[in-house]
Structure 1
Amino acid sequence: MTQRVAVIGAGSFGTALAQVLADKGCLVDIYARREDQVREINENHTNSRYLPDVTLHEGIRASSDLQAVLNGTPYVLIVMPSSAFRETVQLMRPYLDPHAFVAHATKGFDVETGQRMTQIMEEELSEHDVKKFAVVTGPSHAEELSRRIPTTIVVASRARATAEAFQDLLMTSYLRLYTNPDVVGTELGGTLKNIIALGVGFSDGLGFGDNAKAALMTRGLTEISRLGMHLGAAQLTFGGLAGVGDLIATCTSKHSRNWRAGYALGQGKSLDQVLNEMGMVVEGVRATKGAYNIARQTGVDMPITTAIYQVLFEGKAPKAAVEELMGRRRIHEMEEVAEAIRLDWQD
Structure 2
Amino acid sequence: MPNVTLTIDGRQVTVPAGTTVLEAAREAGIFIPTLCHDPLLPGWGACRLCVVEIPGMRNLPASCVTPVAEGMVVYTASEAVIEARRTIIDLLLSNHPMDCLTCEKNGDCRLQDYAFLYGVRQPSFKGEKKNYPLDDSNPYIVRDLNKCILCGRCVRTCQAVPERAVIDFGYRGFNTKVVTAMDTPLGDSSCVYCGRCVAVCPVGALTYKPLAGKGRTWEVEKRPVTCTFCESGCAFDLVVKNGRVIGVMAKEPGPGRPLCLKGRLGLELLYVEEPLKPMLKKDGQFVPVSWAEALGLESILDRMKKVEGKEGR
TM-score of the aligned structures, taking structure 1 as reference length: 0.26
Which of the pair is proportionally richer in helix?
1
Which of the pair is proportionally richer in strand?
2
Higher radius of gyration, 1 or 2: 2
TM-score of the aligned structures, taking structure 2 as reference length: 0.28
Q: Relative contact order (C-alpha < 8 Å, sep 6+): which is higher?
A: 1
